[in-house]
C-alpha cells in the first residue's frame, strides 16, 4: 500500500503535467489556424499574379513579331545597299586603275598587282552577270594591257640584271674544291635579292592569273644567252691571258663591278625535294702534255745532246704550246658548264613552276652544251686529221680531255637529270667519239713506228738516237698520265683480241667499255710492248743503212740505251713488266751485244800487233830483211788503223756520258795492253834506221787518242 502523502503528491504531479500538455495542444491548434490562413492568402496572391502574366503575354507577343519583321526588313535593305555599292564599284574599276596600269609596274609592283586583282574580279563579275556589257570589254582590255606590262617588266628585270659571270669568279668556283679540304658550298647570286623576289612574284602571277607561259621562253632565252656567254668568256680569258703573260689565269679575285654576279653561301638543298645538285670536283691538269717533254730535256742534260735522225713522225718537241692552252681552256669550260648549270637550276626552281622546270632547264642549257659538244667534235675532227698526217702530238690533246669528261660524267648526269634523252646522250656520244679516235691514234702510232721508212738522208750521221726513238718514247711517257684513259680506249675497241689477251668475265661489266683497272693496265702494257717491239724491228732495219757495222752497232747501242734509260726514268719499266718480266734484262743484253759488235771494229787495228801474228826471232840475232819488213808493216798497219778509226769514230756520238766513258775505257784498256806488249817487244829491236817513222805513238798517247773518241768538240 502506498502511503497517503505519496499518493497525493503523485496526483498533483500528474495533474500539472496534464495541464502543461493541454496548454501545448492549445498552442499548436492556434498555430495551425494561422498557417491555414496564410496559405489561403498566398494562393490568392499567386492566382492574381498568374492572371496578370497571361494578360501581359497576350499583349507583348504581337509586338515582338512586328519588331522581328522590321529588323529583317532593315537587314535586307542594308544588304541590298551593300550589293549595290559592290556592283557599282565594278563600274568604277576601269577608271580607278587605268592610270596605274598605264604607268606600269616599275618601282611599285605591290600596288600594280593589287590593281590587277581588282580588274580581274571585275572581269569575272561582268562575265558572270553581264556578258554583253561594254564594261566587260573595257576591263578585259585593261587586264590584257596590264598582263603585257607585267611580261615586259619580267623581261626588263631579267635583261637588266642578268649579267655574264666573270672568268675569274668561275675559276674561283671550280677550283675552290681543291684548295680546302672542307669548304662551305657557294652559289652564284645571279640576281639581287629584291629583284629576284619581284621576278618570282611576277612569274607566279602570270602562271596563276595570267594563264601565260611565254615568260618561260623569255626566261630561258635570256639565261641561256648569259650561260653561253659566260663559258665563251672563260675560253677567251684563257686565250688572252696566255698570249699576254703565258699564264692561263690568276686565282686572285679582283674587285668586282656592281653588275657582276657574286658568290653567296647557301645550304646544300635537302634530299627531300629531289633537287640536290652535287658539286663538280675540279680536276684540271695544266700543262700535262708538256710533262714528258720535260723528261726528255732532263735526259738530254745527261748526255742526249747529239743530233737526232729524221722521221716521218712530226716531232713532239716542236708542238705548239697553244694546244695546251686550248686543252686546259676546254677542260675548264666543261667544269664551268657543270657549276653554272647547277647554279642556273637552283635559280630556275624559284622562278619557274615545278612542272615546267625540267623542260625549261633543258632549253636553257642547249646553246652552251651544244657549243661544248661542237668544240669537242672539232677536237675529234682535228685529231682525225692529225692522225692522217702522223701528227700524234695533236692527238694527245684528246687524252686529258677524255679523262676529264669521264671524271665529270657523274656530275653531268646529275645536272642533266630529267632532261630529254637527246640531251643526256650528248656527252656519252662525245666520249665514245674520243675513245674511238684515241684508239685509232694508238694503233696508227704503233703502225707508224713499225713502218717508218729507212731513208738514208734521214739517218743521224753520228749514230746518235734517232728521232723516231725519242718520239716513240716521248709518246709512251705521256701515256703514263693517262693509263686508265688509254686502257679504256684500247678496251673500247675490243683490242684485247688483237693482243691475244683473254677476257675474263670478272674483268668486264654490263657495259662493253667498262673494264677492270687491272685488265686495262695489262692491255696498255701489251700495247707499249708492241710499240717497243715495232720500234726495235724498225731500228734494226734502219741500222742496215750504215755501211760501217761499227757505226750500226753504235746507232743500235744509243737507241737501246736511250729506250732503257727512258723506261727507267719515267717508270714505264714497271708498266712494261706487267706483261714482259724480262724486258729490262733483254735491253741490257742487247746493249752489251752492240758494245761487243763495236769492239770488233778495233780488231783490224789490234790484229796487226797481236802476239799470235808476231814473227818469232832469237834475241841478239840479227833480223833478216823479211822479219824487219814484217815488223815495219805491223807498226804501219797499227798506226794507220789507229789514226783512221780515231778520225772516223771521233765524229760518232754516244750521248750517255756513263756509257761513253765505259766504252772508251774498255777499248782503251784492250788497245793499250796489246800495243804496250808489242812496243815492249819491238820498241828496242833494230828493225829500221828511222824508228820514229814507225814508232809514232807512246802507249799513253794511244790512250789519249781513244779518250777523244765520240767527241766532236775534241
For helices 167-179 and 214-245, give the axis angle rounded to 10 degrees: 80
Query: 444-498: per-residue pLDDT in tens?
Result: 999 999 888 777 668 899 999 999 999 999 999 988 888 888 888 888 765 444 4
Mean pLDDT for 340-360 is: 92
In this predicted structure, the answer to whether residue 368 has a pLDDT above a threshold of 90 is: yes
Q: What percent of the chain has a predicted confidence (pLDDT) above 70?
A: 80
Band (pLDDT 50/70/90 cuts) for residue 601 is very high
Query: 197-246: per-residue pLDDT in tens?
Result: 999 999 999 988 877 778 899 999 999 999 999 999 999 998 887 666 54
Band (pLDDT 50/70/90 cuts) for residue 429 is very high
- Here the cell at position 404 is 676529264
What's the pLDDT at 213? 77
Given a contact cutoff of 8 angstroms between Cβ atoms, the answer to whether 212 and 294 are in contact is: no
Given a contact cutoff of 8 angstroms between Cβ atoms, the answer to whether 620 and 586 are in contact is: no
Pick from 415, 249, 447: nearest CA to 332:
249
Band (pLDDT 50/70/90 cuts) for residue 553 is very high
Alpha-carbon distance of 488 to 491, in angstroms, equals 5
Alpha-carbon distance of 267 to 351, in angstroms, equals 19
Pick from 539, 404, 403, 558: nearest CA to 479:
403
Quick one: CA torsion of 81, 83, 85, 89, rounded to 10 degrees? Answer: -170
What's the pLDDT at 501? 47
CA distances from 528 to 31, 425, 437, 577 (A): 141, 33, 18, 10
Is the pTM for the entire model greater than 0.75?
Answer: no
Alpha-carbon distance of 42 to 52, in angstroms, equals 15
Query: 387-414: per-residue pLDDT in tens?
Result: 999 888 888 889 999 999 999 999 999 9
In this predicted structure, the answer to whether residue 183 has a pLDDT above a threshold of 80 is: no
What's the pLDDT at 95? 81
- Here the cell at position 133 is 556589257
CB count in 10 Å sphere of residue 637: 16
- Here the cell at position 662 is 765505259
What's the pLDDT at 195? 92
Given a contact cutoff of 8 angstroms between Cβ atoms, the answer to whether 521 and 527 are in contact is: no
Average pLDDT, the chain: 81
In this predicted structure, the answer to whether residue 44 has a pLDDT above a threshold of 70 is: yes
Question: Which of the pair, 187 or 118, is modelled with greater confidence?
Answer: 118
Given a contact cutoff of 8 angstroms between Cβ atoms, the answer to whether 520 and 483 are in contact is: yes
What's the pLDDT at 515? 56
In this predicted structure, the answer to whether residue 512 has a pLDDT above a threshold of 70 is: no
Which 3 state secondary structure label does DSSP give 515?
Answer: strand
Given a contact cutoff of 8 angstroms between Cβ atoms, the answer to whether 306 and 655 are in contact is: yes
Which DSSP letter does residue 619 get? T
What's the pLDDT at 197? 93
Alpha-carbon distance of 700 to 105, in angstroms, equals 104
| 620: alpha, beta or left? (left if phi > 0; alpha if psi -120 to 50) | left
Band (pLDDT 50/70/90 cuts) for residue 376 is very high
User: What is the sign of the dihedral through the CA atoms of 375, 381, 387 and 390?
Assistant: negative
Given a contact cutoff of 8 angstroms between Cβ atoms, the answer to whether 694 and 639 are in contact is: yes
> Which range among 461-465, 513-517, 533-537 shows the weakest confidence by mean pLDDT?
513-517
Which DSSP letter does residue 287 get? S
Compute CA 41 distance to the chain's CA centroid, rounded to the nearest angstrom. 112
Buried b / exposed e over 45-83, threshold 16 CB at 10 Å, is eeeeeeeeeeeeeeeeeeeeeeeeeeeeeeeeeeeeeee
Given a contact cutoff of 8 angstroms between Cβ atoms, the answer to whether 188 and 263 are in contact is: yes
Q: Is residue 107 packed enough to be buried (19+ CB in 10 Å), middle (13-18) or exposed (0-12)? A: exposed
Band (pLDDT 50/70/90 cuts) for residue 128 is confident
Q: Is residue 361 packed enough to be buried (19+ CB in 10 Å), middle (13-18) or exposed (0-12)? A: buried
Amino acid at each position: 500500500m502506498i502511503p497517503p502523502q505519496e499518493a497525493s503528491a503523485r496526483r498533483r504531479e500528474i495533474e500539472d503535467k496534464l495541464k502543461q500538455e493541454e496548454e501545448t495542444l492549445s498552442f499548436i491548434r492556434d498555430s495551425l489556424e494561422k498557417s491555414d490562413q496564410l496559405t489561403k492568402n498566398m494562393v490568392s496572391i499567386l492566382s492574381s499574379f498568374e492572371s496578370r502574366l497571361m494578360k501581359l503575354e497576350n499583349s507583348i507577343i504581337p509586338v515582338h513579331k512586328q519588331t522581328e519583321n522590321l529588323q529583317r526588313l532593315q537587314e535586307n535593305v542594308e544588304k541590298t545597299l551593300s550589293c549595290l555599292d559592290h556592283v557599282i564599284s565594278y563600274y568604277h574599276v576601269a577608271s580607278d586603275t587605268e592610270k596605274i596600269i598605264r604607268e606600269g609596274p616599275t618601282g611599285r609592283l605591290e600596288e600594280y598587282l593589287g590593281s590587277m586583282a581588282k580588274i580581274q574580279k571585275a572581269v569575272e563579275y561582268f562575265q558572270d552577270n553581264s556578258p554583253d556589257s561594254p564594261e566587260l570589254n573595257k576591263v578585259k582590255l585593261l587586264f590584257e594591257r596590264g598582263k603585257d606590262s607585267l611580261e615586259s617588266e619580267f623581261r626588263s628585270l631579267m635583261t637588266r640584271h642578268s649579267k655574264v659571270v666573270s672568268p675569274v669568279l668561275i675559276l674561283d668556283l671550280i677550283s675552290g674544291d681543291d684548295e680546302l679540304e672542307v669548304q662551305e658550298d657557294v652559289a652564284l647570286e645571279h640576281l639581287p635579292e629584291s629583284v629576284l623576289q619581284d621576278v618570282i612574284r611576277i612569274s607566279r602571277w602570270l602562271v596563276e592569273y595570267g594563264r601565260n607561259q611565254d615568260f618561260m621562253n623569255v626566261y630561258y632565252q635570256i639565261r641561256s644567252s648569259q650561260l653561253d656567254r659566260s663559258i665563251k668568256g672563260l675560253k677567251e680569258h684563257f686565250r688572252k691571258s696566255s698570249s699576254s703573260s703565258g699564264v692561263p689565269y690568276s686565282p686572285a679575285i679582283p674587285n668586282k663591278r656592281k653588275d657582276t654576279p657574286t658568290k653567296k653561301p647557301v645550304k646544300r638543298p635537302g634530299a627531300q625535294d629531289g633537287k640536290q645538285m652535287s658539286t663538280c670536283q675540279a680536276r684540271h691538269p695544266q700543262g700535262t702534255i708538256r710533262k714528258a717533254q720535260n723528261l726528255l730535256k732532263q735526259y738530254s742534260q745527261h748526255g742526249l745532246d747529239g743530233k737526232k735522225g729524221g722521221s716521218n713522225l712530226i716531232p713532239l718537241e716542236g708542238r705548239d704550246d697553244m694546244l695546251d692552252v686550248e686543252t686546259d681552256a676546254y677542260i675548264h669550260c666543261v667544269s664551268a658548264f657543270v657549276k653554272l648549270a647547277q647554279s642556273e637550276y637552283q635559280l630556275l626552281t624559284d622562278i619557274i613552276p615545278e612542272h615546267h622546270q625540267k623542260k625549261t632547264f633543258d632549253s636553257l642549257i642547249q646553246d652552251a652544251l651544244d657549243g661544248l659538244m661542237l668544240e669537242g667534235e672539232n677536237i675529234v675532227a682535228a685529231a682525225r686529221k692529225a692522225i692522217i698526217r702522223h701528227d700524234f702530238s695533236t692527238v694527245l690533246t684528246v687524252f686529258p680531255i677524255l679523262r676529264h669528261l669521264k671524271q665529270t660524267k657523274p656530275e653531268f648526269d646529275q645536272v642533266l637529270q630529267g632532261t630529254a634523252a637527246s640531251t643526256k646522250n650528248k656527252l656519252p656520244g662525245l666520249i665514245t667519239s674520243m675513245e674511238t679516235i684515241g684508239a685509232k691514234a694508238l694503233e696508227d702510232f704503233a703502225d707508224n713506228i713499225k713502218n717508218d721508212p729507212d731513208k738514208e738522208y734521214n739517218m743521224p750521221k753520228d749514230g746518235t738516237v734517232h728521232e723516231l726513238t725519242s718520239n716513240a718514247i716521248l709518246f709512251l711517257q705521256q701515256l703514263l698520265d693517262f693509263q686508265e684513259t688509254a686502257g679504256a680506249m684500247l678496251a673500247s675497241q675490243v683490242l684485247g683480241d688483237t693482243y691475244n689477251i683473254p677476257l675474263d668475265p670478272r674483268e668486264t661489266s654490263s657495259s662493253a667499255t667498262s673494264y677492270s683497272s687491272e685488265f686495262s693496265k695489262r692491255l696498255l702494257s701489251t700495247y707499249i710492248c708492241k710499240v717497243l717491239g715495232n720500234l726495235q724491228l724498225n731500228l734494226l732495219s734502219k741500222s742496215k743503212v750504215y755501211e760501217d757495222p761499227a757505226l750500226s752497232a753504235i746507232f743500235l747501242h744509243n737507241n737501246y740505251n736511250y729506250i732503257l734509260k727512258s723506261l727507267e726514268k719515267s717508270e714505264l719499266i714497271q708498266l712494261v713488266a706487267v706483261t714482259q718480266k724480262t724486258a729490262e734484262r733483254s735491253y741490257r743484253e742487247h746493249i752489251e751485244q752492240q758494245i761487243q759488235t763495236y769492239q770488233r771494229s778495233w780488231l783490224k787495228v789490234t790484229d796487226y800487233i797481236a802476239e799470235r801474228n808476231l814473227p818469232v826471232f832469237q834475241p841478239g840475232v840479227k833480223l833478216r830483211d823479211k822479219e824487219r819488213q814484217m815488223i815495219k808493216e805491223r807498226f804501219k798497219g797499227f798506226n794507220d788503223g789507229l789514226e783512221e778509226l780515231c778520225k772516223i769514230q771521233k765524229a760518232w756520238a754516244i750521248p750517255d756520258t756513263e756509257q761513253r766513258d765505259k766504252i772508251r775505257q774498255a777499248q782503251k784498256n784492250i788497245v793499250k795492253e796489246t800495243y804496250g806488249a808489242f812496243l815492249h817487244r819491238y820498241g828496242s829491236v833494230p828493225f829500221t834506221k828511222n824508228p820514229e817513222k814507225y814508232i809514232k805513238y807512246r802507249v799513253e798517247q794511244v790512250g789519249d787518242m781513244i779518250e777523244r773518241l765520240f767527241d766532236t768538240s775534241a
